[in-house]
Amino acid sequence: MKKSEMKEVILELKKEKGLTWSAIAEKAGLSTEYTCSACLGMNHLDKAEADSVAEILGMGAELSAALQEFPTKTWDQIVPTDPVIYRWYEIVGVYGETIKEIINEKFGDGIMSAIDFTMDIDKEENPAGDRVVVTLNGKFLPYKSW
């Protein structure tokens, strides 16, 4: 099974079984965000976690093996049209240079890792309208001179 096929199977079974990403992640013993990313084909799971996800979805070794495959991270569109995803492009377009400037000012010349990284997505109830709280936490990687 290819990663693209795996994604479609997982999404279909998740819906059919009425599962949440949190329930699937709990079974895998991983964060909701990372588990979801792996199930969508953008990361991989180790065997024990992949087996747990396959089990909760009622699938076997073929799905587990696909979850364990290392992904090729590509995007089909240069700028996606889905409104939620597009807004992230908008955020980076408007605030990307600001983020870079402040990281460089506080840490020096370098980048935030997207490998040594965690992400948490939470809901904050607010009388004026609920808020989406996204926390990105990445290790600082300084550029080196040689």
113 is catalytic: yes
Structure tokens that stand for 79 in this block: 């700028």
- Catalytic residue selected from 90, 97, 101, 131: 90
- Catalytic residue selected from 4, 16, 97, 113: 113
The answer to whether 98 and 92 are in contact (CB under 8 A) is no
37 is catalytic: no
Count other Cβ atoms within 10 Å, centred on residue 130: 10
Please tell me the distance from the alpha carbon of residue 84 to that of residue 125, in angstroms, as a whole number: 19
- Catalytic residue selected from 87, 97, 101, 131: 87
131 is catalytic: no
* Active centre residues (catalytic): 87, 90, 113
